[in-house]
Amino acid sequence: MLKKPESVLFRITAIWTVIGLAGGLTYRELTKNLDFSGSTQLAVVHTHTLVLGTLIGLGLLALERVYRLSRDRRFGWFLWIWNIGLLITVGGLTTKGTLQVLGSAAAESPALAGISGMGHILLTVGFLLLFLTLGRRIRDDRSAAAELGPADLGTGESAALDARS
């Protein structure tokens, strides 16, 4: 179980936000300074990072608050696998995109595609772990709510649910 999971999620989300904004700035400045007008993978670093890092992170913060995802040990695995997968994916996109802007033949290396593919595989495993974790926590919440009697419904229900956590 994570210690202070909401703080951990907040920090991770903030870091991905900074990386995403830096990715957008890098794309704009590098292409402008080198007078590059072609297609490049560098163009999608900004959106990949902000969507898969920032928006997913903000969603996880809300889900943690409601379902306490961190009480399932798979959530810790999810966080590690997800962030490593996203780091590999964004690193691959950044490397290939930069090489494309610089006009390097290395940009077409199959190794770069393989590395990026590895990142996407890890993201897929992360999604699987997240859905397994969320599914279990939803079932656990339903079970706890079913154990409460009709007299416990209303304001007492949320207090009883919090007490069991």
* Sequence-distant (≥ 6) Cβ neighbours of residue 27 within 8 angstroms: 40, 42, 43, 45, 46, 97
CB 34 within 8 A of CB 49: no
Q: What is the pLDDT of residue 151?
A: 55
Q: Is 26 exposed, middle or buried (0-12, 13-18, 19+ CB in 10 A)?
A: middle
Q: Please write the tens of the pLDDT for every residue from 4-13.
A: 999 999 999 9
Give tens-digit pLDDT for 86-129: 999 999 999 999 999 999 999 999 999 999 899 999 999 999 99
What pLDDT does residue 144 have?
Answer: 73
DSSP SS3 for 2? coil
pLDDT confidence of residue 159: 47
* pLDDT-derived band at 160, boundaries 50, 70, 90: very low
Q: What pLDDT does residue 154 have?
A: 52
End-to-end CA distance of the chain: 13
d(CA 42, CA 30): 10
Rg (CA), the chain: 21
Classify residue 115 as exposed, middle or buried by CB count within 10 Å of its CB (0-12, 13-18, 19+).
middle
The more confidently predicted of residues 148 and 45 is: 45
CB 27 within 8 A of CB 43: yes
The number of angstroms, rounded, from the C-alpha of 6 to the middle of its chain's C-alpha atoms is 14
